[in-house]
């Protein structure tokens, strides 16, 4: 563990060190719920924002200017690595991959690449944001192997992941080859983000909750473990986040990560009991941010009560902020968490 003397409370909490109050940040904290972001989107597409370092830096900073959150997360998209691999990606308005992976031959056609070249714009945005953020730590991120593979196979988002599961179960050799390529690229990409200045990284497994425990253990866990193990020597905290993981949270946590992110489908204290002596991040239901203030206050207090002042707690949502979320409610949660957790 690196020296934490003078480290920000977010970084200290990731390493289960004493903090003066609970740190708080939000997944998708820079995005459609903010007028500043919507104004930029009138001029630029998502890919234009993500691929222009100055614009990506600006979007990263927008929530930092608006509220006293304890960490920034670089503005990017988890699908950016699939383009240099050879996928044809567009947004219409959601992501669409025009040449999905459906066979072993498709897997072989996917290219390896150097993140410092193929994703240089993300690394440049990280460097720019670090200069602007001062003492506020910056989080880098990437999609986990299963989530990226599912996008590649489905050709976009999916409700039931029929094509992904069929590929995984019926073509196990091709599946392992696909996951092997994705995991190597993901590990190298996250390392490059740390080299560019990210002070923490998060591995997003947004779709992993569609799997059975056995499917996760057999087909996914080894590949996630590869990525998370590769980051152990980076010197920065690593957050491992997934949704719908309550049924196999012990296995999910065993893949690695200094911090385990959990969603709202499992009480925070119960989740902590499953992951053991590890920092935890979560786990307010994003829809509760739309509720009346008394309801929202009660939900925040409940989560803080379940954390019970234990070391290694980072307040966050169980997934990303939803569009149309009232900004004033997001700001209120930040203020409440800081005020009610003061040590």
Q: What is the pLDDT of residues 41-54, one digit of tens each?
A: 999 999 999 999 99
The per-residue pLDDT for 260 is 98
Total-model pTM: 0.96
Catalytic site residue from 32, 90, 124, 265 = 32
Mean pLDDT of 129-155: 97
Q: What does pLDDT average to over the chain?
A: 96
* Distance (Å, whole) CA 137 – CA 7: 9
pLDDT greater than 90 at residue 172: yes
pLDDT greater than 70 at residue 2: no
Catalytic site residue from 21, 37, 41, 184 = 41
Catalytic site residue from 9, 33, 70, 77 = 77
The per-residue pLDDT for 6 is 82
Domains of the chain listed by start with CATH number: 9-340 (3.20.20.210)
* Distance (Å, whole) CA 145 – CA 219: 11
pLDDT greater than 70 at residue 1: no
pLDDT greater than 90 at residue 3: no
The per-residue pLDDT for 299 is 98
What DSSP letter does each residue of 242-258 carry, written as one string?
A: ESS-GGGHHHHHHT--S
The token pair that represents 137 in the structure block: 């730590």
Catalytic residue flag (residue 130) = no
Strand partners, 203: 142, 240
The per-residue pLDDT for 274 is 96
Mean pLDDT of 33-61: 97
Binning pLDDT at 50, 70 and 90, where does residue 4 land? Answer: confident
Catalytic residue flag (residue 28) = yes
Element (H, E) at 339: helix 327-340
Q: Cβ contacts of residue 302 below 8 Å, gap of 6+?
A: none
Mean pLDDT of 127-154: 97
pLDDT greater than 70 at residue 138: yes
Catalytic residue flag (residue 41) = yes
The per-residue pLDDT for 154 is 97
For residue range 235-290, list pLDDT tens digits in order: 999 999 999 999 999 999 999 999 999 999 999 999 999 999 999 999 999 999 99
What does DSSP say about strands 72-73 and 238-242: parallel, antiparallel, or unpaired? Answer: unpaired
Catalytic site residue from 9, 16, 33, 151 = 151
pLDDT greater than 70 at residue 343: no
pLDDT greater than 80 at residue 5: no
Q: Cβ contacts of residue 61 below 8 Å, gap of 6+?
A: 72, 129, 132, 133
The per-residue pLDDT for 64 is 97
| Percent of the chain predicted with pLDDT > 70 | 99
Catalytic site residue from 9, 12, 16, 28 = 28
């Amino acid at each position: 563990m690196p020296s934490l003397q003078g480290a920000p409370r977010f970084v200290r909490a990731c390493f289960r060190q004493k903090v003066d109050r609970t740190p708080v940040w939000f997944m998708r904290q820079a995005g459609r719920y903010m007028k500043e972001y919507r104004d930029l989107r009138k001029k630029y597409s998502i890919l234009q924002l993500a691929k222009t370092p100055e614009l990506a830096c600006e979007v990263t900073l927008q929530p930092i200017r608006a509220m006293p959150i304890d960490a920034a997360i670089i503005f990017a998209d988890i699908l950016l690595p699939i383009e240099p691999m050879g996928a044809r990606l567009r947004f219409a308005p959601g992501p669409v991959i025009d040449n999905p992976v459906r066979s072993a031959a498709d897997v072989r056609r996917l290219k390896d690449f150097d993140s410092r070249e193929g994703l240089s714009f993300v690394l440049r945005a990280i460097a720019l944001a670090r200069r602007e953020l001062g003492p506020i730590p910056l989080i880098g991120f990437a999609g986990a192997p299963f989530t990226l593979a599912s996008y590649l196979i489905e050709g976009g988002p999916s409700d039931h992941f029929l094509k992904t599961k069929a590929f995984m179960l019926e073509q196990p050799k091709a599946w392992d080859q696909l996951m092997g390529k994705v995991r190597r690229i993901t590990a190298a990409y996250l390392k490059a983000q740390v080299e560019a200045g990210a002070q923490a990284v998060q591995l997003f497994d947004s779709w992993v909750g569609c799997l059975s425990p056995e499917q996760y253990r057999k087909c996914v866990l080894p590949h996630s473990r590869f990525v998370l193990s590769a980051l152990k020597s980076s010197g920065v905290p690593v957050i491992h986040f997934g949704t719908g993981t309550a049924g196999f949270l012990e296995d999910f946590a065993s893949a690695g990560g200094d911090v385990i992110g959990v969603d709202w489908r499992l009480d925070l204290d119960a989740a902590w009991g499953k992951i053991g002596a590890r920092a935890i991040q979560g786990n307010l239901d994003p829809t509760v941010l739309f509720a009346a203030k008394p309801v929202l206050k009660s939900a925040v207090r409940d989560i803080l009560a379940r954390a019970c002042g234990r070391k290694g707690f980072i307040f966050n949502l169980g997934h990303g902020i939803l569009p149309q979320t009232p900004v004033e409610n997001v700001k209120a949660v930040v203020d409440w968490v800081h005020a009610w957790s003061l040590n």
